[in-house]
Structures are given as structure tokens and as C-alpha cells.
Structure 1
Amino acid sequence: MRCVLVSKNLDLRGYFGAEFARSAPRIELVDHTADATAEDVRLALAWHPPDDAFERYPNLQAVCSIAAGVDNIMACPSLPPDVDVVRVIDPGQAQMMSGFIVWHVIGHQRGFAAFRGQQRDRIWRRGDQRRARDVPVGILGSGGIGQRVAADLAQLGFPVMSWSRTAKPDSSASHSFHGPAGLAAMVGEGEVLVNLLPLTPETRGILNGNLFSRMRRGGYLIQVGRGEHLVEADLLKALDCGQLSGAALDVFATEPLPQAHPFWDHPQIVITPHDASDVSIGAVATTLAVTAEAIRTGQRPPHAIDRARGY
């Protein structure tokens, strides 16, 4: 089966070619810029596709993302309404993301930022130690990655809560909340807020001043969802007035983060360059192979999203 590679800023053939030859040998990769027979293409692998990316492919049946998020594909104007959009499922990514979040949660709990400052100034001063049980963590998003994060934090002794759009049962790791009322309730009980939500019209701008005002004073934000979730001016206000004591930001509305952006110099913000976790090339190849097999047999790909919900 022919699969077209479509990306604005990434050489997908060079990035995936060798692994795909091993893991998905029945799939022929065709570059979008090549003079390919468009009618033969039934599958696409994409990342931030250009606006006209899918106009050339009348028999396209599915588009796979090279990451867990699919919002950049969903926003493409030329995406046909009947084409399945498929996200990658990678347990290794969940493990990496969980480690990243645990690092920041413990850093806030133990006040590690203060120790860095003390080392710089050659100050020997012990800090007050808080137990994990005294630092409740709320997680926005209870999919596969959110469940792994909740389980790992609970294992370390943190009280964990999870929020989702619709009701989900409590797990052994976390207490579940849902809907607008549940969001307000969970945020009000938490000290650390972790954002793992997909980007949809309903979640755009969800990290705003109203939400921050409901958190415990001195709370901490860990933002690893999408940059557009965060109202940046509201975060700065919450930090400057002491409502939040700090924030760890891995994703931004504009990437790379502009040199003149105030986040760079803010002493209470930790910046990482969208590096919390990556999907493995092997997981992408496996997802593509499974999707191709589903198309061959007339089935819906197993990891196709609900386009009405956006995830």
C-alpha cells in the first residue's frame, strides 16, 4: 500500500525510512513533493500538513499522526470529512512523560528550585520538608498517558485526582471528576495541576485566570498539553500576585519560543523545548502497519479518533 508523507517542517522519509523498511515492509513511502500517482495513495503520515496537503489524493482513507496529538491534522482545510485520523499509541511515551511530570511534582514538593539558588549564592540552609501525602495533584486528562502518570504519582504517595470531559470510574490510583462542576471541584482541592488534555475548541484557553484563582494559593502548574491551552498573560498575573508559586512549561503557542518572550526571564518558570516525551519511530511504524491492514480488510483503524470530539 502506498503511504504519502506530508509535513511542513520535517523530512519524514529521512526520519522514518530505515525503521519503516524493517517494521512495515508492505508499505511504500511516497514523498508529498514527489510526482507520485495520487490515485494510488490510500494512507498518509503527516505532521503539520500544509493547507492543500490532501487535495491530490482522492482515494485517501486514513491519516496517521507522527505523535499522540492530532490537532494539527484536524486543522488542515483540505482534510476530507470522511477520512479517518489515527493517533499513535506508545507505552514508552507514557513512561517518559510520567517521569518528566514526576520530576516537576517532586521538585515543587521539595522546593528544589530554592536549592539551586542557594548553591549559586553559596548559602547553606536546610529547607522545610513536606510529605508527598500533603501535596494533592490534579491531572487534566485521563487517557493512557494520564492513567500512567496517576499510577506513578500514587505509588510515590501523592493524592491524585483526574478530570475528564465525561464521567469515568475511580481507579486505584486516582479519584475521578468530570464536567464543568467537576473541574472546579478538582482544581479547588489540588496544589499541583498537570495538563495533559488534547486541544479542542472546548479546551483552548482552559488554563486561564479563573482556573488559577480556584487553586490552592501557592499552587504549581505543569503544562505538557498544547500551547494553546494556556492564556499566557493570565499565568504571568497568577505568578506575580503569588496565586501560583511556579510553572513548568514544555509547550507553547509559538514554537520555538520567541527570544523576547517574558517567560524566558521569569524566575518562577521552568522552560523545556517541547521535549517532555517523544513517540518512538517503531510505534509510528507499527501504528501505520496496523492502519494499513485495517484498510485492506475494510475495517476502521483501531486508533482512529472521534472527529466530532477531536480526540
Structure 2
Amino acid sequence: MSIILASTDFWEDMDVWSNSLRMAMPEMDINVYPDEGDINKVEYAVVWKHPKGILKKYPNLKAILSLGAGVDHIISDPDLPKGLPIIRLVDKKLTHEMCLHALHWVLHFHSDQYLYRIQQFNHEWNQKSSIQSEDRTIGIMGLGNIGKSIGDLLVNLDFKVIGWGARKKEALGLIDYSFGKDKLSSFLSRADILINVLPKTQNTANLLSKKELECLPKGSFIINIGRGGIIDESDLLILLDNNHIAAAALDVFTEEPLPENNSLWSHPSVYITPHIAGQSNPKSAAKTIAENIHNIQKGKLPYPIYSNENGY
């Protein structure tokens, strides 16, 4: 049996990934596409933005595993084999990186660093009164593994944390959670800093347009590390221009790479990073992927399996 490793992203070092997988699963043959070996022996595909159509080539494929937290790069394949489990990557190192990225921007906005940067360019010395963390409300959209971890981190730093999602959740500790679209407006109205960690699904596409964004308090901030296409970028620019939203840190976009002529690039209140908030750690992720493959071989369920019904 063998594993096929495939990616079209040039930043992904396939040698590092293949070596990490070989260390985690020395009993398996690891092939990197297009060097497939015997296609009849391929039982697992480990992919990130794989060349569309290749997965149907392997007649004995048992499962498809993502090299990252998202799977939209998999389910968008029009020739995706039917009936195979698709396993998302939930890895502690990836979650840790997402937490650090979110914390960086929360502290940046909370401590007025965005204003002091502008003042520096203008040679201005103007001290702002500080706001205590317990007086700052952080709203998190998407309370899965990553969102919950971000929330717990911020709670431990004495921020007030509220959460919103599509479904009821239990055991969220000190995070004040609400769910359902009927509760979205009231949730947004309380969020001084909004962090989006939602996956993109049919239900979340363009979820935050002008009407919803206007529910945020005037002078609020947005941090988007979930998926592009959830926040309407044109409407976001309108609310940034009229200062309803003070600033936004964006890591994901409707179209990636972000086109050179997109107005977000040059907006003075927008901070852009190229989808790097939660980069997978090959050594750590390989162990997680190996554990899931070993579970499948033992007849156990891998975790987490993508749900077509839920969209994540």
C-alpha cells in the first residue's frame, strides 16, 4: 500500500512533507505526484490544492486527507471520487499558530498600535487613554477547535469573549455563546473586535455584508482568519471609508492571491497577510495524519471527517 502526496502550491516543500510522513509512517510507501508509483497500491491521498482530476486515477483509494485545516480545495474538484471520507487537519501546532496570529492583531488594535503607527509617520506625540482588557469585548465567529482555543486564550488574558455559530454548543466555559442567524445582529452589536474563524459554506458565503457589518459598534475592528468570501469586501471598504470600522487585519480573501488592482491593498486602515495565519507544521501534522491513517487501518473513525451536510 502507498500514499500519494500532491500539491500545486509552490510554497509547500514536498520534500519536507514527504520526509516527515516517512518518519511518521515508515511502513508506508510515500510518493509525490506526479511520481505515483503503482496507482493500484495508492490507498491514501494527502493533498493541498492538488491538480484537479488526479484523485479519480486511484482505484483503491480509501481516504483523502488535507494538509491544512480547510478542505474547500478538495471538494471543489469536479472529478472528486464519490463516497470517500475527507479528513480535515486538526493539529495542535496549527491551532497554536492561529492563536498567536489572532492574539497579535487583538493586541495591536486593543493597544492603539494602529493609531500610533499613523502618528509616527506624521511626527505626532499624542497619548491615548488605555482601555482595560476586561472592558474590551472580543467576538469570535466559529467556535470549533481553533475558535474555541483563541477564545480560551483571550479569556485567560481577561478579555470579555463572546462567540457565535450556526449550532448549539456545550461546555464553552466563560465564552458567552449564541447561535443561529436570528442572534447574529445582537452578537455583532457587542463585538469591539470581531474575529472570523468560520469555514466557507453555502450558509456562510457573504454572511457579513453591509447590513451585518453596520451592526458592529462604531470604531470596531475586524480580524479575518477564517475563509475569504464570508465578508463582503466591497461593503467592508465602504464601512472603512466612513470610519464605522476603524481597521481590519485580513489574511484570507474572496480571490487568492489578492489581485494587484484590489483596493484593499492600498487602504490605510487595512493590514494584509497572504493566508499565513495557520501554516501547517510538517512534523506535527505528519503525526496527526499518520494517526488518522492508522485508525482507518484498524477500522476506527478518523477525526475530523468532513460533513457535506454541515459544509465543514
What TM-score do the two structures reach when normalised by structure 1? 0.94
Q: Is the 8 A contact 2:99 2:153 kept in 1?
A: yes
Moved more, 14-23 or 63-72: 14-23
Query: CA distance change for structure 1 residues 211 and 175 in 2, over 3 Å: closer, same or farther?
Result: same
**Alpha-carbon contact 2:22-2:30 (below 8 Å) kept:** no
Q: Which runs of 5+ in 2 are unaligned?
A: none
Residue number in structure 1 paired with 2:286: 285
2: CA distance between counterparts of 1:117 and 1:241? 18
Letter in 1 for 2:118: G
1:64-121 Cα shifts (integer Å, max 9, x gaps): 1111111111111122221011111211222221122122122222211111122222
Question: Which one-letter code corresponds to 2:103 in the other structure?
Answer: V
For 2:300 and 2:106, locate their aligned partners in 1 and report how far apart those are by CA, in whole Å.
42
Query: What secondary structure does 1:108 align onto?
Result: helix
Which one-letter code corresponds to 2:2 in the other structure? R
Q: CA deviation at 1:51?
A: 2.4
What is aligned with 2:125?
A: 124
Relative to structure 1, the CA distance from residue 216 to residue 166 in structure 2 (aligned partners, 3 Å threshold; closer, same or farther) is: same
Aligned CA-pair RMSD: 1.7
Give the Cα separation in 2 of the matches to 1:62 and 1:162. Answer: 33
Aligned to 1:92: 93
Work out whether residues 6 and 12 of structure 1, in 8 Å CA contact, stay in contact via their aligned partners in 2: no
Q: How does 1:130-149 map to 2 (within 5 A)?
A: 130-149=131-150
What letter is aligned with 2:264? F
Partner of 1:4: 4
Task: Decide whether the 8 Å contact of 2:5 with 2:18 is kept in 1.
Answer: no
Task: Give 1:301 shift.
Answer: 1.8
Is the 1:223–1:250 Cα contact (8 Å) retained in structure 2? Answer: yes
TM-score (norm 2): 0.94
**Where does residue 65 of structure 2 map in the other structure?**
64
Contact 1:249 1:269 survives alignment (8 Å): yes
Identity of aligned residues (%): 29
Indicate conservation of the 8 Å contact 1:170/1:176, yes or no. no
The 1:38–1:178 alpha-carbon spacing in structure 2 relative to 1, beyond 3 Å, is same
Aligned to 1:203: 204
**Offset of residue 35 of structure 1:** 5.0
Listed as ranges, the matches of 1:204-219 within 5 Å are: 204-219=205-220
What is residue 242 of structure 2 aligned with on the other side? 241
8 Å CA contact retained: 1:165, 1:179: yes
Amino acid at match of 1:238: L
Partners of 1:51 and 1:277 in 2: how far apart?
24
- 1:117 aligned counterpart, secondary structure: helix
Shift in Å, 1:225: 0.8
How many pairs does the alignment contain?
Answer: 311
